[in-house]
Amino acid sequence: MNTQNKTSIIAGAGTAPSANQDLKQGAAPATPAGTQNKNLLDTAAGQGSYNTFAKAVEQAGLAETLRGPGPFTVFAPTDAAFAKLPAGKLDSLMKPENKAELASVLKYHVLTGRKSAADIGKWDSARTMHGQSAPIKLTDGKFSIDGAQVTDSDLGSSNGVIHGIDKVNLPAVAVV
């Protein structure tokens, strides 16, 4: 494993610069015009390709968290990414009796703090809100998290940043 200039980050554990430090250093992603007053969910909805993600967040009971002050970094699977799940998996996760499992899967896509693609591309892994670390790889200037390629990066919002990904990452162990 190439560890040159790379760091394993435990989000929120004090090993990474705080969001305020990032802003002072200019490393935090810019908040695009028109999104300064939009939270993560409203920003995702405005993109048009994260509708399934938004519905799943609502179903899992995480909407209030992602509309809250944050900041958070969200790796949001696109609608096309959700369509790649095995047949019946999404329908099963969206059932009320599977709310805890759905929340566990979604928390595996969220970090505490506002982290730009440039920051994340320097890491080997990141501890998610799920509690499990997700491996990060940088190849040809593009990064992936647990095998999901980042397809859209640094979508700023009032309470964090979204990076779109092409696959739904499933944690090794669902924490319910």
pLDDT tens digits along 145-169 = 999 999 998 989 899 999 999 999 9
Question: Which residue, among 68, 67, 15, 77, has the nearest Cα to 42 in the 3D structure?
Answer: 67
- Beta-strand pair 123-127/133-139: antiparallel
Amino acid making up residue 90: L
Q: Is 25 within the bounds of a domain?
A: no
CA distance 158 to 128: 20
Q: Is 24 within the bounds of a domain?
A: no
Q: Can you say how many angstroms the Cα of residue 163 is from the centroid of all Cα atoms in its chain? A: 6
Q: Is 172 within the bounds of a domain?
A: no
- Whether residue 169 contacts residue 148, with contact meaning beta carbons closer than 8 Å, is answered with yes
Q: Is 26 within the bounds of a domain?
A: no
Q: What is the pTM of this model?
A: 0.78
Q: Is 21 within the bounds of a domain?
A: no
As given in the structure block, the two tokens for residue 69 are: 């002050």
Into how many domains does the chain fold?
1
Please say if the pLDDT value at position 14 is more than 50.
no
Number of Cβ within a 10 Å radius of residue 19: 21
Please say if the pLDDT value at position 26 is more than 80.
no
Say which CATH number the domain at 75 has. 2.30.180.10
Confidence of residue 102 (pLDDT cuts 50, 70, 90): very high
Confidence of residue 1 (pLDDT cuts 50, 70, 90): very low
Confidence of residue 61 (pLDDT cuts 50, 70, 90): very high
Please say if the pLDDT value at position 11 is more than 50.
no
* Rounded average pLDDT over 31-47: 72
CA distance 84 to 89: 10
What strand order describes the sheet that includes 148-157? 7-10, 123-127, 133-139, 142-145, 148-157, 160-165, 72-77, 110-112
Q: Which domain holds residue 120?
A: 7-14+34-165
* Rounded average pLDDT over 2-8: 36
Q: Is 85 within the bounds of a domain?
A: yes
Confidence of residue 3 (pLDDT cuts 50, 70, 90): very low
Q: Is 54 within the bounds of a domain?
A: yes
CA distance 176 to 105: 10
